[in-house]
Chains A and B, each alone.
Chain A
């Protein structure tokens, strides 16, 4: 059966989502543009491998993810953040702050603060949280994109969100102290 004639338009319809994701992966606008372009080159070249009826967006995210990893491997000396999915680190075992009033602080976080907190997450957590909470991929789709078991995806998202919460709490408390040095934020 011939490929749908509108594959190109369908694929390019996900440009913004791919670019936003590439921005989070590379942390660099120019590199993000190159990464997205390389992703589309591969997608168009291998479009026959896409199975109509499956999720095109998730398929494109998988190409983006693999292209990003390959770019990292090609760069000599580029730091790769290693994460042991099976053994939580010491920081992960610390009890997280209680749900209140710290969560009220987190709820007041601005988009810029969340952006900064996401950027500070170790890469595997950042990508998993981003794909779930911003791009709204299912856990199964994320597992397909990252090529890891669904349980690993869930663990990364749980840990990533917890780290994000702690980071946001720290950012908000600092912002309050800066705005009013006389105020001491609770829980800090």
Chain B
């Protein structure tokens, strides 16, 4: 009669043994070793049953357990991709802490690729659209004066009209850059549309020519004019609206 193997020697095999495709994961000899051990060791047999039950429970809920990454994280990691091409930069981009906010502004404007900018602003667009009352209302001229007075920046805010189909809702400071980006809110056919104005010196990858991006179920059209970069975000076709805005801003 052969001597029984120790529980410690058998233990590793209990992992694949408790899986539905154990036959593919283990050799026949290994399965025979486990079966022979179980004959003389009820505790290990019970342990194998417990392993099998635990794995089945986890597998049954695996999809629910696998969290989806927050939308902003994708933008941050795309920014990391751009940054990794520049070996002189620090290893951690920015942790979105208050201390890192100033650095975030600079990196946001100069390093984030077009898609990452669009993704982050789509998130801001959706978030701010839930709180339209927080926007400061006024005529385009009044809002431009408010921004100039509070932030020291001259920006151009197109007003809405019947031709464009836009109604100017108001102006707010964009939280994602600690208030340094203007967020102009509009309404078009009952749906929110946002125009973000990034401050002086901002430049997008690709030279600033108009670019259209689809992200998070929204469209974003980005372009640079003068010393500022503009990003129009909303659902549906925005090409006509963006063309109208570019014309308004240039005039």
Contact = CB atoms under 8 A, between A and B. Distances in A.
Nearest to B76: A37
Contacts of B53: 99, 102-103, 106-107, 165
Contacts of A41: 80, 83-84, 91-93
B12 A37 contact: no
Contacts of B54: 106, 161-162, 164-165, 168
Contacts of A20: 65-69
B92 A37 contact: yes
A165 B59 contact: no
Given A23-B67, A155-B12, A15 B74 contact: yes
A144 to B, nearest CB: 16
A17 B62 CA distance: 11
B65 A158 contact: no
A19 B71 CA distance: 11
A96 B57 contact: no
Contacts of A152: 12
A168 B54 CA distance: 8
A151 B8 CA distance: 11
A159 B11 contact: yes
The residue in B18, B46, B52, B96 that gathers the most chain A C-beta atoms within 10 A of its C-beta is B46
B242 to A, nearest CB: 26
Interface in A2-22: 8, 11-12, 15-20
A154 B16 contact: yes
Nearest to B58: A133
Interface string B45-59: 011011111111111
B50 A96 contact: yes
Q: How large is the interface on A (under 10, 10 to 19, 20 to 34, 35 or more residues)?
A: 35 or more
Interface string B17-55: 010000001000000000000000011001101111111
A40 B81 contact: yes
Nearest to B93: A37
The residue in A33, A98, A102 that gathers the most chain B C-beta atoms within 10 A of its C-beta is A33
B15 interface: yes
Contact of B80 (A44, A95, A133, A161): A44
Contacts of A161: 15, 18, 50-51, 54-55
B14 A158 contact: yes
A29 B68 CA distance: 11
Given A34-B95, A40-B81, A95-B43, A16 B69 contact: yes
B91 to A, nearest CB: 6
A129 interface: yes
A41 B87 CA distance: 10
A164 B58 contact: yes
B77 interface: yes
Interface string A88-132: 100001011111001100110111001100100000000001001
A110 to B, nearest CB: 7
Contacts of B46: 95-99
List of 3 A-B pairs having minimum Cβ-Cβ separation, nearest first: A44-B84, A99-B49, A154-B12
Given A30-B95, A33-B73, A155-B11, 8 more contacts: A33-B96, A36-B69, A99-B53, A102-B53, A132-B15, A152-B12, A154-B15, A161-B51
